[in-house]
A and B are shown apart, each in its own frame.
Chain A
Amino acid sequence: MAEGGGVSTVSENVPSYEHIDVNSTPFHIGTFRNLWLGMLHPETYSYSQTSPETEDLRFISDMGIAPETLAELKSVCSTDSLRSHPEHEPPDTEAVPPEPQLATLKLRKRRQDYKKSLIRDSMGRHDVYANEMELLAIGRRPEDSKDLIPEGELILSFNVVYPVLFERFKHVRAYQTLHVLGSQKLTELRDAICCVSDLQVFGEFSNTPDTAPQFLSKDHYKSAFFFFEGTFFNDLRFSECRDISKTTREWAKTHDFPDFKTARMEDTTFYDLKVKVGYPYLYCHQGDCEHVIILTDVRLMHRDDCLDRKFYPLLTHKHRVATRKCCVCHLYISRWITTNDALAPVDPCLYCDQCFRMFHYDDHGNKLGDFKAYVYIDPGAFN
């Protein structure tokens, strides 16, 4: 055991439900991994396969049976014995069999008939997309063997929920799912979370629209923290970074809350964490952009997973959001938002880059009229 040992350490790091189907008890990720590795034979999670002959000999000696008994077992337990159709007449797996006995198939048949009556399944698209991302990575092996993730590594899945900061996210709790490795630093997850507020551009640029891209928030406000189980993990990699959890901690101190701890995000791996699965925690950046973050799953790496270290954190799900199109051409994604704009049908108004420049500046780039222009980052631009 990495931590302490002791019986209490063992049982308290075996996760169980704190609230049934909602969240687990808190456990130390590294110890949890060691418990699994201590119980499993390394072959059980190895990427390579033991030869069938070795496996057979082992079974014979472990059970104390004759080789003939094993041969008989193999034939009795073969998957062929589960087949309801003749060997050379494979069934059409694309169709629900007529007169199905299974309740699930009856339901599938009903739903299928119903679906046929619709033109198309409008909900399908975003699922397809999520799955494409997941499928791309499945079973991927690295080109360079040094990128191969060692056997027995842990894989953690995080759902990062978008903040309700944006009016349009109020009803759909959009989220992205990221897989990280136990040995990765918290900062690696932070860098992989994409959020429009990192791309916001502050300031009014109607006089100098060409200078706008230099003012990306991500490059200006680098402070951020994760909050897990009473500890603020601050990103202090850069000299400009500040401990932005300080205000919260000081407020908590004066309001009778238990003391919160702090740690450095860049010095902490996921193995060092003690967390609950299914419990809402916090990721905060850009000062006030707060994301609820939930660890939905922790498990040992499987040989069918993406085994290339370079792909982690691995994005496996992303909510597709509708993009806002330019008010003039209704074709391109909006890049500018204007106010006090005499040319605009509404206030504020969204334009694509081309239409914005065409309407608001003359051939020499001189501003026409008295309006204000801000950079608009469409949340759908990440799709």
Chain B
Amino acid sequence: MEYFKRTLNTDCENILGRFQATASVRFEVFSAIWREINFSSIFYGPMEPNKCRVFTRLVLSVAAPYLLPPYAFQIRVGGLYLLYGLYSSQLTTPKEKVRLALKDWDELMRFQQDAVDAQHYDVVFILRKLLHERAFHFTAMPNPVKRRQVERQGQQLCETFIDRPSRAQELISTDMLEELANVHEHYENLKRVISAQTDQPILSLVKQNLVPKLRGAVLTYYNWQRNQTVTFFPPQSSRRAQLLALIKSKSYGQAVEHCASLIFKNKFNV
């Protein structure tokens, strides 16, 4: 059965990619794509009942991670719709369940709250419908662990689906900016020493104010990114969502301010 893992991944990424391209979180939009691909037919074909059960389990386990971080909000919505579609169109009786690990429950509830705050009622409705139908198994781990196969292939994360803020944050960590400022300062000093010996204005080759410029570029990117995210959290949505966005932007901005001031301190030895 494991040989279906790769193609199942391809199929999930394909439908989620098409959903992503619509820049929507509406279920109508998702279901139109689903119908067009005839995604329900993934369960069609002759299969003995026992294999059918194992196959269905595999299908659900491949789709389940898209519901959770590090995927971006829109992908997670798509992931929820995908699970809903797969859960309801499976051909086994009783239905195979979607596994949910204890560590992921908080994330799911936060996701639900974000959807409530942004008044994405279809998202909330479908999640509650699944819970109401007992579509989940509340487990210790995302998948049963058997220790049988020696070589295991972890599911690859689809890069374009991942929530972006985390990556920008990684880029401008305090340590990294400080290190960069130090290296840059050292480099400028060296250049200065060399140009003093030769008269040639080599210093002009050095990018002035490298660190502030980098910070500016990242901030611009961040603002653009925030505008993108706002698409799913429209301004008319509740105060909490705005507050959340504000908090996120603040902590981000502060991190940058903080690094910058540190760097200036270092630079002028105050």
Q: A residues within 8 Å of B by Cβ?
A: 14-17, 20-24, 27, 32, 35-36, 39-40, 44-45, 50, 55, 59, 62-63, 65, 69, 73-74, 76-77, 79, 81-84, 91-97, 100-109, 112, 124, 127-128, 130-132, 135, 138-139, 157, 159, 173, 277-280, 294, 296-300, 302-304
Contact = CB atoms under 8 A, between A and B. Distances in A.
A102 B53 contact: no
28 contacts: A15-B101, A20-B154, A21-B143, A39-B102, A63-B121, A73-B122, A77-B122, A77-B125, A81-B31, A84-B36, A91-B44, A92-B44, A93-B44, A95-B46, A102-B42, A103-B7, A103-B8, A107-B7, A128-B48, A131-B53, A139-B94, A277-B140, A294-B147, A297-B139, A297-B144, A298-B140, A300-B138, A304-B95
Contacts of B53: 131
Interface string B119-159: 00110111011011010011111011111100010100000
Nearest to B37: A101
Interface string B43-80: 11110111101100000000000000000000000000
Given A20-B154, A97-B38, A294-B146, A299 B138 contact: yes
Given A73-B122, A131-B53, A55 B138 contact: no
B174 interface: no
A112 B54 CA distance: 17
Nearest to A155: B137
B39 interface: yes
A265 to B, nearest CB: 22
Given A77-B126, A82-B34, A280-B147, A15 B27 contact: no
Contact of A277 (B37, B121, B145, B148): B145
Interface string B1-28: 0011001101100100000000000011
Most chain B CB within 10 A, of A23, A91, A93, A127, is at A93
B39 A82 contact: yes
Nearest to B10: A103
A21 B94 CA distance: 27
B223 interface: no
A32 B102 contact: yes
A278 B146 contact: yes
B228 interface: no
Contacts of A108: 4, 45
Give 7 closest A-B pairs by Cβ, nearest first: A278-B145, A131-B50, A103-B7, A96-B45, A299-B139, A84-B38, A297-B144
Contacts of B51: 127
A303 B103 CA distance: 23
A359 B73 CA distance: 77
A84 B124 CA distance: 24
A91 B8 CA distance: 21
B165 interface: no
Contact of B27 (A16, A59, A77, A100): A77
Given A77-B125, A84-B41, A24 B144 contact: no
B89 to A, nearest CB: 6
Given A15-B140, A93-B43, A105-B45, A82 B147 contact: no
B185 to A, nearest CB: 41
B88 interface: yes
A45 B34 CA distance: 30
Contacts of A300: 137-139
B7 A296 contact: no
B35 A83 contact: yes
B264 interface: no
Contacts of A173: 148
B134 to A, nearest CB: 6
A224 B201 CA distance: 85
Given A93-B91, A102-B41, A24 B141 contact: yes
A294 B264 CA distance: 57
B184 interface: no
B143 A14 contact: no
